[in-house]
Structure 1
Amino acid sequence: MTVHQFLSSAGRAGIGLATGVLAGALLAATAPTAGAATAAGVAPGPAAPRAEEAALRQALADIVAAGGSTAALAQVRDGGRTLWRGAAGTADLATHAPVRADGYFRIGSITKTFVATVVLQLVGEGRLRLDDTVEHLLPGTVPGGAGITLRQLLDHTSGIPDYTEDPRFELKDEADILRWVDTGRWTTYRPRELVDVATAHPALFPPGTGWSYSNTNYLLAGMAVERVTGHGWEEEVRRRIVLPLGLTGTSFPRTSPFVPAPHAHGYFSLSGGPVDVTLRNPSGASAAGSGISTAADLDRFLAALLGGRLLRPAELAEMQRTVEVRPGVGYGLGLQRMDSPCGPLFGHTGSVEGYQAALVGTQDGGRQVALSYNPFDRSKGAEQQRAVLGLLVKALCPSAPTGGAAPNG
């Protein structure tokens, strides 16, 4: 199993089990599981109606109380204003410090949405084309790259294996995990090195004939941005998205292991007790998942993206054209689509050691929810999923009927 699978039954970064269950639960308007914990919510500006705020506060608390997370924080944005934000749980098991709703966290694969946005901006400028081949953009990098397009990288139809599934990243037991904690998490990787790990394995399928989530695709997309612009993908995201939108809490570190304060810590629950895994070298994720942000910044980013402020209509439409992954769930160009009672929802999920996150909003960019939580008790995977889904349903479809059980993913 991978370190992500060890941490949580919700699965690896991307459109895994948690996303499939999310879509089903949104279709069923699942109610959150009851819990005893409380969350501290604050709402600058006009607040949510009292009943809605109470439901959101309870749903967030359930992620900690029923879902076995050490911490959770979330923010709901509607019509350009903060409707509600809150936090629950403990930020640091050593000091018992409370979680802050304005805290920083690792966003994992939500990074992909930032990278895809930059790629599509370059497409709109005529500097890239979605039918450009990998061989044209990055000669000699991928076997069979002449038959793989930029679009197929962005929507995961390339057939290129995921480097994170290589046996060298596999953690078979607790001893392997402890070795990763002691040494592995500090390793610096180059994107090309990780691409070579992936392409040492045979292709999963001929390009364009299947779908398989692969972090390798976004390493290549980041390399293509650098090839075209002469700047690292991180600098292009900063210049094109972070600075124009005033995302003061968002960064994409290359090798720095730190998360800015305040933040909730991430942990592994091992036989000897909790192990803090907050610090890690992010180069092993790079353009596939190295980002750090806040709930406020993520909501602002998704509102601007889906509201048409970052892409021209043609490129935004391409981003939202999805490959059907399972009923009610599709994957576009760095965006996941999830059907719901309030129409199609778009966003992305993310997972890295100690942190899981979700960013989802309505198609018109009117309403968004950003959530970060820190899974800990692996025996509560199903309860955690129900609690997370309860929060997202309450945030995005507040008028939908509640009740019933979450369908299986």
Structure 2
Amino acid sequence: MSPRPRRRPRPAVTALLTASLAASLAASLALAPAVGAAAGGGPEGRQDGRQDGDRALRARLQELVDRPDGPPGAIAVLREDDQVRVIRAGTAEVGTRREPRAEDHMRLASAAKAFSGAVALRLVDCGLLGLDDTLAARLPALPADWGAVTLRQLLNHTSGLPDYSRAPAFGDLLNADPHHVFDSRRLLDFVADKPLEFTPGTRYQYSNSDNIAVALMAEAATGQRYEDLLASEVYRPLGLTRTSLPSGYRLPRPYLHGYDVEPPAPPQDVSTEYGASGSWASGGLVSTPADFNAFAAAWAGGPLIGDATRAQQRTFVDGASEPAGPGTNHAGLAIFEYTTRCGTVYGHTGNTPGYTQLGAGTADGRRSLTVSVTTQVNQSGAPDLLAHLRAVEEDFVCALLAP
């Protein structure tokens, strides 16, 4: 889910058992002692032969920050088992010397779709949902024309649902009041009069509507609010204490300030430009680089879901995340396969005003990577910057996968 800052209009693009999760929880908690010291300008992770490599990685982030159209700040977290490295460049807030930190809050944008996917696949694991369950069976109040769409098709963006975030009425409300509080469970009403855009399952088309429907199916299957399912199925099992789904526009402190960058004008702070109720399960999550990294590991290959469900998750079709991640992209069930020159990782990206995200991990869940920058980067608004960012992300993947 990714509405736009008003200063620069662009096309709208958008923005998981108990015993088995103990190891994942321990791994996520291992991040805490490693992220309290300085990084980029000093040690924040282990001191060994990787120091030269970390300096090279920091230089790559600095190249992004130094571009006239680049993000004011950038931070990457790389983890191998309990060893954590934090690389950063730039500032957490323009006009200050405060560096980005792994405990700073930030908007996850469409990387939030991986979390709604995690809730859904956890419910599939325990038999409360099925990948072939249809909208007609689970959400009969939705348009009958959409009834044959399955949970699987929603998760891999082959549903054909029209994208509510592109509806003129939705855009009009945001333009009139960027802090407008939407009824998040009625977002699909903006396109309820629209037919499917293609026969479900016949092609890939990224749509913010898909993950709204996923969350609604999870609620229908359990009788619980999606926010409560996030807590019981994701946050608590993984020890994510700084991840939340707000309905308003404020961010918990401290936070990475996000900016609209349009040279030669100075960067415009858009951190709180939009509320989260209009993106909800599709892009409304707030987290930190540390929490996001712990989730990325578990979602890519940890014990978050069982082996049979994992095999379904990694059934891929042609399709890229939004924005495209490093290397060649293929779409699975709320996860993307990123095949780079150094190997393959699995994860999700996202972009929204002020923020662009990549979270990825290895198939065994032992290594994970997040890259977060504080401006919106996508193909429609900044194609050259996106190409640069993807190249930097691939370098970080290579560092993650190095022996």
CA–CA separation in structure 1 for the residues paired with 2:42 and 2:387: 21
Specify the alignment match of 1:250 in structure 2.
243
What SS is found at the alignment partner of 2:61? helix
Residue in 2 that maps onto 1:74 = 76
Judging changes above 3 Å, is the alpha-carbon distance between structure 1 residues 377 and 93 closer, same or farther for their aligned structure 2 residues?
farther
SS at match of 1:398: helix
Q: Contact (CA 8 Å) 2:74, 2:90: kept in 1 or not? A: yes
How far apart are 1:377 and its partner, in Å?
9.8
For residues 12 and 47 of structure 1, do their structure 2 counterparts lie closer, same or farther at Cα, with a shift above 3 Å needed? farther
Tell me what 1:224 maps to. Answer: 217
Equivalent in 253, 259, 268 of residue 261 of structure 1: 253
Q: Which moved more, 1:64-73 or 1:103-112?
A: 64-73
- Quote the offset at 1:316 in angstroms: 1.0
Q: CA deviation at 1:399?
A: 9.1
- Could you tell me how far 1:262 is from its partner in structure 2? 1.9
Partner of 1:195 in structure 2?
188
Contact 2:40 / 2:86 at 8 angstroms: preserved in 1?
A: no
Change (3 A) 1:39 1:81: closer
CA RMSD of aligned residues (A): 3.1
Indicate conservation of the 8 Å contact 1:41/1:86, yes or no: no
Kept after mapping to 1: 8 A contact 2:121/2:309: yes
CA gap 1:318/1:86 in 2 versus in 1, 3 angstroms = same
* Aligned residue number for residue 348 of structure 2: 348
Q: In the alignment, residue 53 of structure 1 is paired with which amino acid?
A: D
Q: Retained in 2: the 8 A contact 1:4–1:11?
A: no
CA distance in 2 between counterparts of 1:373 and 1:396 reads 16
The structural deviation recorded for 1:2 is 5.9
CA–CA distance in 1 between the matches of 2:268 and 2:225?
A: 33
Query: Which one-letter code corresponds to 1:352 in the other structure?
Result: T
Partner of 1:206: 199
Tell me, in whole angstroms, the C-alpha distance in 1 between the residues paired with 2:50 and 2:334.
33
The Cα of 1:388 is off from its aligned counterpart by: 2.0
Corresponding residue SS for 2:211: helix
For residues 380 and 286 of structure 1, the distance between their equivalents in structure 2, rounded to whole angstroms, comes to 23
**Of the candidates 302, 317, 329, which is equivalent to residue 296 of structure 2?**
302
Structure 1 position 292 matched with structure 2 position 286? yes
Q: Give 1:356 shift.
A: 1.1
- Indicate conservation of the 8 Å contact 1:362/1:396, yes or no: no
CA contact (8 A) 1:39 1:89 kept: no
**What is the alpha-carbon distance in structure 2 between the residues aligned to residue 42 and residue 161 of structure 1?**
48
Aligned to 2:14: 13
* Equivalent position of 1:127 in the other structure: 128
1:387 Cα offset (Å): 3.6
Identity rate, percent: 31
**Deviation of 1:281 (Å):** 1.6
Indicate the residue corresponding to 1:385 in structure 2: 386
Describe how 1:57-206 pairs up with structure 2 within 5 A. 57-66=58-67, 68-82=70-84, 84-95=85-96, 97-170=98-171, 180=175, 183-206=176-199
Distance verdict in 2 for CA 1:297–1:56, change over 3 Å: same
CA-to-partner distance for each residue in 1:299-348, whole Å, 9 max, x for gaps?
A: 21122233331100011111111111279321111001121233332100
Q: Which runs of 5+ in 1 are unaligned?
A: 15-37, 402-409
**What is the alpha-carbon distance in structure 1 between the residues aligned to residue 171 and residue 292 of structure 2?**
31
> What is the one-letter code of the residue matched to 1:339?
T
Aligned partner of 1:356: which letter? T
State the alpha-carbon separation in 1 of the partners of residues 161 and 305 from structure 2: 27
Q: What's the CA shift for 1:277?
A: 1.9
C-alpha change, 1:380 and 1:124, in structure 2 (3 Å) is closer
The 3-state SS of whatever aligns with 2:108 is strand
Per-residue CA deviations over 1:213-238 (Å, capped at 9, x if unaligned) read 01101111111111111211121111
Task: Report the Cα distance in structure 1 between the residues aligned to 2:258 and 2:185, rounded to whole angstroms.
Answer: 28
Shift of 1:365: 1.8
Contact 1:62 1:387 in 2 (8 A): no
What residue number does 1:51 align with? 52
Contact kept in structure 2, 1:59 and 1:388, CA below 8 Å: no
Give the distance between the partners of 1:131 and 1:340, measured in 2 at CA: 32
Aligned partners of 1:366, 1:7: CA distance in 2, in Å? Answer: 41
SS of the equivalent of 1:242 reads helix
Cα deviations across residues 136-190 of structure 1 (Å, max 9, x unaligned)? 101121332331111111111110011111123458xxxx9xx83xx52211112
